[in-house]
Structure formats: structure tokens, C-alpha cells
Chain A
């Protein structure tokens, strides 16, 4: 039994790619492999020229600092403010206080949360919480953003806001991989769409549509 089998894809730097597929298609496993949470039994995964198929445990943090990850469940710390949540990502990797002071307002500005930075997660909406998670993912200036069902818990308006932010981030040159099964969003994006089915690529189209 394999979650992924015979999967082969290449995403170019600066691309915005949507990965779609029904439940059990292997989307989440693929994300876990990209951030080295799981290893492939065979084959290779090359991220930005680095073959991470057999990555050493001590190299994993270095990889993760260069890949921003956004999950459906927001994973914000409830006892910290939005600003502290974003700063936390820099604090735990040993960033200097001056760097944190400079970077946090910048990324909160990108996601439009500068005026709410001192609020706690429960004091802001779901969409704003997800924007805070995006800010946290951006604070390391990642080369790749992987968004795993970022709009899953959001209404249409907030979902559109999140996608707009991801598009803006992509415009800055960051590669964005959007893993979703939201048909409307994928169809409106007019970007590359990779469709997974039973652990392998069923379709891969530039300016594609949601096929399933």
C-alpha cells in the first residue's frame, strides 16, 4: 500500500502551482515529503537543487527555514498575540531582536494585519488568523510557500483574501504550491494545475482547471 506511487513532477522557480485531488490522492503525503516530515521509500525529491530524499535529521531545520508552510488548522499559539506568534518563528531560530523588530511589521503589512498585531488569535477572525499564519510563514523570507488547504476553514470572502495574498507573494518571486480541493479557487486562478489521483499525477496543465 503506497500513498504515492510513480509520482513525477517538476515545479519551476517562481511558479504558482495548484495541486488538486480528492481525499486520499496523496496531497498531504506529498507536502510532508517536501518538508522532510516523511521520506520516500524509493525515488528522489529535489527541492531547489537539494536532494532531500535521504536528508539527515540535523539538516531538516535548515530546509524548513527556507520553505514556508501554511496548514488548514491555523496552528497559532493562543497565549501569544499575532505579533508574538509571527516573532516566535524567528525567535526559535536564534534571530537577533533587531531583525525580528524589522521583519515582523513588514510581513504583517504584506498580509494586512499591521493594525491588529497586538490582538490575540481569538480576538481576530478565521481569515485574519490564516493571514497571520501566512505572515509567520513569510517571516523567514522563504523561497517556497506550501499552502496545504489554507482556505479549508474559511468562508468565500476570506478564502479569496488568502489567495490574493499568496498571489502577491508569488509576484515577489516566491514559488507557491497551493494544495486544495476548492474548485472555484483553482478555476479562477488560471495558473498551472497538477491533479493527483491514487498517488500519481493524473493531469498537469498550464492555466489548468479543476478536473475532478
Chain B
């Protein structure tokens, strides 16, 4: 009579997996209260991550839309010599930072002014009372990136053309962009901190849920050990249970996010500009990678939490 080191006559992986799944499902249902709280907390954590992602995308798109519309306008003084203005136009057009430079004649400037003040009869009457065009010509400059506007203006100044220019309109845009960037950064920071807090909270809840399950099944576990169940088989249902938490909360979080995106999309689109950005399209476009990353991240964290819960309370 020999005791065999490798006797494993009826161990079948197919049945082992099926039973581990069945045990995990029973655990989930048996502790349904704890399971639901765990799923709810994990869903909130995922919702905050999704919000962070969407917020980042929406503010980036908004900033980008604003930056695309930023144009520096150099308003030449009325007495600036045409030759000198031509020099400025040539110099600016040749700058590597400039994407486009459009010269606006004095007549066109006046016309733009008239269009802008169509409803202001007093201003138009005052303009018409003047014998000559009170406006000088202008130059609209679009830089390749918003950061390059300062450089362009510095170069104009360095070439001694400042005395030709009556007004530069960049200052307002710069302050506007800076404010939005700062707001966006602050929102992102707060959302990141909140998300991290929720994720840690969720991990703690999962740790606790698995710990309670293990404790409530200590007799079952003792019997499993006694009759020769492998450590892997004893642990598997708890890992599967944490996987259930992950999958259910991801489905719930993405369903809620999709619904909220549908509600918010028209408002965001109208704010940023139709055809420029759609939150819904962005969400659908990034959905596969977002799902993958969150499943991987939360899945790994739940596995780590479960391992710690088992290591501490399931001494096999």
C-alpha cells in the first residue's frame, strides 16, 4: 500500500472551474447585502474616473476650440506709412511661428466696424459724420500654437515697428486662455483626488467583503482542506467573486455614464461649438480603451485586495 505523491485520479479542470464559478456565485448571492454595497462603491469610483476622463476631454476640446479662434490683430495707426506697413506684413508673413497673416485695408476695417455696430445708430451716425475714414489698416495674425503669439509680438517690437501699431488685441485672449487652463487644471486635480479616494475606498470595501465571506465559510474551508481540495480551488471562488464585483460595477458605471453623456452632450456641444466637439462621439470613440484600462486597473486592484483578505484570514 503506497501513498502516491501524484495521485490525482479524478481531478478534472472542467469540473473544477465550473464548481469554482458555482461557489463564487453562491458566495455573491449569500452575502447579497455586502455584495451590493461593494458594487455600489466600486461603481461610484468608476463613475468618478469616467467623469474625470470626460471632463478632461471636454475642457481640452473647449480650450482647443478657443485657441483655434484666437487671432492677434495689429491695428495700425492712421498715419502709419504704407511702405512701413508693407514691411511689417512681409516680415510677419515670413516668421516661422506664423500660420497665416491677413492684411485688412482701412476700408475693410471700416466696413467690419459698420457691420459690428449695425444696431447702434448713434455710432454709425457719428462715423458717417466724419469726412474721412478714421481707421487705419490692420493685420490679422494666426500663430501655429497659442504659445507663439508672445514670440511674434516680441519680434515685431524688436524690429522697431511698435510705433506704427495703435492697438494689439492679444492681451484679452491670453488672459481668457490662461483662466480656462487654470480652471481645467484645478478641476482635473480635484477630480483626480476624488477618484483616487473612491478607488481606495472601493478596494477597502472589497477587502472587507472577501474577509467577511471567508470568515462566514470557515467551516466549509476547513472541510475542503481536510478532504484534499487544493489551495487554488479554495481561493478561486473568492477571486471570481471579486471579478463579479468588477464586471458588474463596470457595466453599471458605463451605463450610467452613457446616459449622463447623452443628457450633457447637447449643452456641451452648444458651448464649444457644433461640429467642433461631441462628448458622446468622444465617449463612444474612446469606450474600448477606457473599458480595457478600467477593467485591467480595477480588476488588478480587486485581485490584490482579495489576496490580502485571504492571506490574512484564509490560512491554508
A interface residues (Cβ-Cβ under 8 A, vs B): 13-14, 35, 47-50, 57-59, 61-67, 69, 75, 77, 88-97, 99, 136, 140, 143-144, 173, 175
Contact = CB atoms under 8 A, between A and B. Distances in A.
Contact of B7 (A49, A58, A62, A92): A62
B19 interface: yes
Nearest to B30: A79
A62 B6 contact: yes
Contacts of B123: none
11 contacts: A13-B1, A57-B231, A89-B227, A93-B10, A93-B227, A94-B15, A94-B233, A95-B10, A96-B10, A97-B15, A140-B227
Contacts of B1: 13-14, 48, 143, 173, 175
A13 B1 CA distance: 6
B282 to A, nearest CB: 47
A59 B12 CA distance: 17
B151 interface: no
B120 interface: no
The binding surface of chain A is classed by DSSP as mixed
Given A77-B219, A91-B19, A62 B12 contact: no
Closest 4 CB pairs of A and B: A48-B3, A65-B228, A13-B1, A92-B229
Contacts of A175: 1
Given A75-B219, A96-B10, A143 B3 contact: yes
Q: How large is the interface on B (under 10, 10 to 19, 20 to 34, 35 or more residues)?
A: 20 to 34
Contacts of B15: 91, 94-97
Given A58-B231, A62-B228, A64-B227, A90 B3 contact: no
Contacts of B2: 48-50, 143
Nearest to B26: A79
Nearest to A59: B5
B6 A75 contact: no
A99 B10 contact: yes
Given A50-B5, A93-B227, A77 B11 contact: no
A63 B4 CA distance: 8
A58 B9 CA distance: 16
B222 A61 contact: no
A65 B5 contact: no
Interface string B213-255: 0000001101111111111011000000000000000000000
Contacts of A99: 10
A81 to B, nearest CB: 15
Contacts of B231: 57-58, 61
Interface in B187-236: 219-220, 222-231, 233-234
B270 interface: no
A92 B3 contact: no
A48 B4 CA distance: 8
Contact of A94 (B19, B219, B223, B234): B19
A66 B10 contact: no
A140 B8 CA distance: 11
A88 B227 CA distance: 9
Contacts of B12: 94-96
Given A48-B4, A93-B230, A94-B13, 20 more contacts: A13-B1, A48-B3, A49-B3, A50-B3, A50-B4, A57-B316, A58-B231, A59-B5, A65-B227, A65-B228, A66-B7, A77-B220, A88-B227, A89-B223, A90-B10, A92-B234, A93-B233, A94-B11, A94-B19, A96-B15
B223 to A, nearest CB: 6
Contacts of B223: 75, 77, 88-89
B16 interface: yes
Nearest to A141: B9
Contacts of B222: 75
Nearest to B10: A95
Given A14-B1, A91-B19, A96-B15, A62 B226 contact: no
Contacts of A91: 15, 19
A93 B228 CA distance: 7
Contacts of B224: 92
Contacts of A58: 230-231
Contacts of A49: 2-3
A67 B316 CA distance: 18
A77 B1 CA distance: 31
- Which among A48, A50, A94, A144 has the greatest number of chain B C-beta atoms within 10 A? A94
A49 B3 CA distance: 6
Contact of A66 (B4, B11, B229): B4
B5 A136 contact: no
B227 A92 contact: yes
Contacts of A62: 4-8, 228
A173 B7 CA distance: 19
Nearest to B226: A69
Nearest to A137: B227
